[in-house]
Amino acid sequence: MLKLYSYFRSSASYRVRIALHWKQLDFEYMPVHLVKDGGQQHSEAYRRINPMGHVPALDHDGFVVAESVAIIQYLDAIFPQHRLFPADPQAAATVTQLVEVINSGIQPLQNLKVAKALEGEFGLTTADSQRWIVRWIEDGFRNLERLLERTSGTYSFGGEISAADAFLVPQCFAARRFGVQLENFPVIARIEANATRLEAFKKAHPSAQPDFV
Ligand SMILES: N[C@@H](CCC(=O)N[C@@H](CS)C(=O)NCC(=O)O)C(=O)O
């Protein structure tokens, strides 16, 4: 039995939803509202599930793991159909490189708690904290675009769906939400268009989730 703690708009949750649907796994959707009640991710009950106070977290028959990279690697190990991290060491390293550019290099800088701190503790206006987010997404996308020119085919890593696509598509969704013009990143935009035609990506989209508003 799989349970996913998720918020419809969270890009990190969206990554894991893609992985679960790509592997055609049934799961129970456990909504965690990141804004309501001051953010349900901060509640004592949720911190027992993920001490970081982040979504996503996965519960597999009582085994709980957070961090989307760890979750997807775990899913690959337990449910090896439609692998997202390739077995070949060089292919795996390339996919992980693409994943980490997004996971470590872009998403943390746009996180809700970062924007809150910029506005609450450092006195930025909402407009300035949004400029910060756009600045770092565009910086990351410029580098990613160059990397993907070398690695991509139909998808981020050649012609096969990989974890890199499960990270790229949600990052594009977030980028658009913050006002980044994706036309400036033609390789990224092309891969996103190709991947989002697939059923698993459609099912994982924020607008298809039970907590979507
Ligand atoms: N590296 C983590 C990132 C998790 C993360 O930052 N989640 C965000 C939503 S996308 C969150 O829960 N933020 C809560 C907050 O900022 O208060 C992962 O890949 O799972």
pLDDT digit string, tens, across residues 76-130: 999 999 999 999 999 999 999 999 999 999 999 999 999 999 999 999 999 999 9
Query: Per-residue pLDDT averaged across 32-53, rounded?
Result: 96
Could you tell me the pLDDT band of residue 3, with boundaries at 50, 70 and 90? very high
Counting ligand 1 atoms within 8 A of each CB, the residue from 107, 121, 168, 169 with the most, and so the one to mutate, is 107
pLDDT at 28: 98
Q: What percent of the chain has pLDDT over 90?
A: 100
Give the domain 89-200 fold: Glutathione S-transferase Yfyf (Class Pi); Chain A, domain 2 (1.20.1050)
- Name residues whose C-beta falls within 8 Å of residue 127's C-beta, 6 or more positions apart in sequence: none
> How far is the CA of 213 from the CAs of 9, 56, 201, in angstroms?
9, 18, 19
pLDDT at 73: 98
Whether residue 43 has its Cβ less than 6 Å from ligand 1: no
Work out which ligand 1 atom sits closest to the CA atom of 32.
12
pLDDT at 194: 98
Q: Where in the chain is the domain with CATH 1.20.1050.10?
A: 89-200
Whether residue 65 has its Cβ less than 6 Å from ligand 1: no
Q: Is the CB of residue 171 less than 8 Å from the CB of residue 111?
A: no
Q: Where in the chain is the domain with CATH 3.40.30.10?
A: 2-82
Work out which ligand 1 atom sits closest to the CA atom of 9.
10
Give, for 144, the enclosing helix (H) or strand (E): helix 126-151
Query: Per-residue pLDDT averaged across 169-186, rounded?
Result: 98
CATH 3.40.30.10 applies to domain 2-82: yes
Query: Per-residue pLDDT averaged across 29-52, rounded?
Result: 97
User: 174: how many CB neighbours lie within 10 A of its CB?
Assistant: 21
Counting ligand 1 atoms within 8 A of each CB, the residue from 20, 55, 75 with the most, and so the one to mutate, is 55
Place of tokens 């992985």: 19
Instruction: Report how far ligand 1's centroid is from the alpha carbon of 37 (Å).
Output: 17
From first CA to last CA, the distance across the chain in angstroms is 27
Instruction: Report how far ligand 1's centroid is from the alpha carbon of 201 (Å).
Output: 20
Whether residue 73 has its Cβ less than 6 Å from ligand 1: no
Could you tell me the pLDDT band of residue 134, with boundaries at 50, 70 and 90? very high
Whether residue 39 has its Cβ less than 6 Å from ligand 1: yes
Q: What percent of the chain has pLDDT over 70?
A: 100
